[in-house]
């Protein structure tokens, strides 16, 4: 049985969190792209994409992630991805795809929402 693709949004402090479930592919990636654009249009420039429940991601899905990064950077915003080391069966498929394509290093990747919303960046010292 196929898992339905869903994108649900919540706000956690200054962060907008989009939780993505299912397959991120040619058919579903336009949905995520639109949601990212909507969130940014609403004025949220700190975005977390929780991909821990995405069990398949193809090149169009990766394209949406890269486009989201470009959009957020153009707003001087922050983008973080939630990709657990283990989970979504055994190890994140998205993690493996991003690694295989050599683009994983482009993203600020966290293991869960708590670590993604925590700001380690303390006050800048002179």
Tell me which residue of 110, 47, 117 sits closest to 84, measured CA to CA. Answer: 110
Query: What pTM was computed for the model?
Result: 0.87
Report helix angle 59-74 to 93-101, nearest 10.
80
Tokens of 54: 């995405």
Q: How far is the C-alpha of 68 from the C-alpha of 44, rounded, in Å?
A: 13
pLDDT tens figures, 30-51:
999 999 999 999 999 999 999 9
pLDDT tens figures, 80-117:
999 976 544 455 788 889 989 999 999 999 989 999 99
């Amino acid at each position: 049985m196929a898992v339905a693709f869903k994108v649900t949004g919540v706000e956690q402090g200054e962060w907008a969190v989009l939780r993505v479930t299912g397959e991120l592919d040619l058919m579903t990636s336009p949905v995520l792209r639109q949601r990212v654009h909507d969130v940014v249009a609403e004025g949220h420039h700190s975005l977390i994409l929780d991909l821990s429940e995405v069990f398949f991601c193809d090149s169009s899905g990766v394209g949406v992630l890269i486009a989201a990064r470009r959009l957020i950077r153009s707003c001087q915003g922050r983008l973080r991805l939630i990709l657990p080391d283990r989970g979504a069966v055994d190890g994140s498929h998205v993690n493996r795809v991003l690694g295989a394509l050599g683009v994983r290093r482009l993203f600020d990747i966290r293991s869960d929402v708590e670590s993604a919303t925590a700001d380690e960046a303390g006050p800048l010292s002179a």
